[in-house]
Structure 1
């Protein structure tokens, strides 16, 4: 089977969409598919159409309903091939609710099937477009289990480090942890915060850089290659997610669990779909809860160990990239048989 993937990102390897697409591409190829990715941030218009036509896929698979789905919809009409769309985050939590929604509706209605990472995303779609709920399949994100989970020495001796892996843009809300962690740092000077991720919004990134100057315990690492993130996870103590929304489950949350790291995450739908309170991590609703739970993790090594162990077991049982790829392949076959 020849599968053409339409993705808003691919060459910026550290973005969530690129991580997802590269994983799915790799595992589909292992199943015998011929796969080619067309990144809309590198190619558009007639050039993209020509490249897809030359590849001659049997089916198109768009990631991100707005940035990928709209292009897949156009290509489907021109080339006469079916397409499906996987929701990845801002498409379901933002684009359906703002000025982009009319364009988005067309892309979704034209798709043979839709895919959500979790039932909470399908439920949200049903509130806006109830007729599409039955056409939406649930395929959880996969995550590759690391070969080596051995703890490495901390980047700074004697430190207790929180890691926030996220692109710098408003929806990731990376400014939030600074003030509550400052309160914790006042009582526990070993506290550190590391931010790692690409600049995706220059204005917001400028605000982050300005804010970091006021918090001596915090440091921005810049872009850390996905192949180097494993060593970073192994050197830190707790992984954070402060997002305002996530498309069912964040890659970084699943990766932290794969590395047996405890989580402290915002109490939002996408995080609740993966993180269970005091089982695989801790959830917070405001700065007061953040400080209290960050302090709990700092003080209780046994709790950190329990959360990390449970998280790794959950990833191993429920988030297999092999199962993810097989589920997509079965869906492709179902779509093509119905033509």
Structure 2
């Protein structure tokens, strides 16, 4: 099958859409299919549309209903008659369907041959407001691939019993990266071995500046900048617990799945996306505010056996439910249904 994959981001590879696009691309190619990737951070929509029209695929698969769908997939489908599939990735559901982009986003979803969500909670959220999409909506959980571990620690050393909380996230408001500083500062006063590491690109300049300024006020915290996919695995492996403090996720965050795959307990905000994979007291903890975060962080700090148990159960969950091969086969089944191949 000849597939065109459209993604809002492919560079840098640390962004969620880029991680998802690269994983799907690799799996489809490994299964023997021809895949062309067009990224909106590398070329304008008009150029991508011309390329698709000049060399039509059997199917167009776009990540993000508004960015990948409204900008390219829907127009390409209308120009060529090629069916397109949309994978909902987060801000299309939790922002674009709620603001001035709503009309364009809905048009994309209504014209799509199929719409995939990472979890049933996202499907239900969409169908609660737009039940007419029920026949085209499918649930395909994300797969997870472990990132590389070639990280240069430089002067950073954590070999004296430090307890490391790690937050992998791009610096933008939805990731709420500065949230953990307050409760972790209190925990650090109780236990000086507490450390906080934040890694990810600055995606919102104003929010990034405010976050880095806040980190500078806390000696136990470090911002490591943007860490490539070939290196960030070392941070997961060294972490004692992994944080996700997002205000929303598109069903499940790649970083949460990766933390579980590395056998790390997850401390995550109580949102749909995190609840879809983090099971309270089984693979991690969910918090509704600073007090719950502090209490659960303290539990992990003072009970190493608890963290090990949660981590092992998380690793087993990923093995059973979130393999990249299973994800790719689910998409291929959907592709075949759409194209009749």
TM-score by length of 2: 0.95
Deviations 1:9-50 (A, max 9, x none): 012100000000100000001111100110012212432122
Deviations 1:41-61 (A, max 9, x none): 221243212222333211000
Q: 1:231 deviation in Å?
A: 1.2
- Match of 1:303? 306
Q: 1:154 deviation in Å?
A: 5.9
- Match of 1:138? 139
Native 8 Å contact 2:13 2:19 kept in 1: yes
Pairs aligned (count): 335
Q: 1:235 to 1:59 in 2, by over 3 A?
A: same
Equivalent positions of 1:111-122 (< 5 A) are 111-122=112-123
Instruction: Verify: 1:216 aligned to 2:227, yes or no.
Output: no
Q: 1:146 deviation in Å?
A: 7.1
Misfit runs of 4+, over 6 Å:
none
Native 8 Å contact 1:6 1:39 kept in 2: yes
Unmatched runs of 5 consecutive residues or more in structure 2: none
Equivalent positions of 1:270-285 (< 5 A) are 270-285=273-288
Unmatched runs of 5 consecutive residues or more in structure 1: none
Native 8 Å contact 1:173 1:242 kept in 2: yes
Instruction: Verify: 1:60 aligned to 2:95, yes or no.
Output: no
The CA distance in 2 between the partners of 1:147 and 1:244, in whole Å, is 27
Q: 1:45 to 1:117 in 2, by over 3 A?
A: closer
SS of residue in 1 equivalent to 2:97? helix
Cα-Cα RMSD: 1.6
The CA distance in 2 between the partners of 1:229 and 1:59, in whole Å, is 33
- Match of 1:313? 316
- Match of 1:36? 36
- Match of 2:228? 225
The CA distance in 2 between the partners of 1:211 and 1:50, in whole Å, is 45
Native 8 Å contact 1:159 1:192 kept in 2: yes
The CA distance in 2 between the partners of 1:200 and 1:57, in whole Å, is 32
- Match of 2:73? 72
Native 8 Å contact 1:27 1:322 kept in 2: yes
SS of residue in 2 equivalent to 1:164? strand
TM-score by length of 1: 0.96
Deviations 1:123-163 (A, max 9, x none): 00012211102211010000125799xxx996353311100
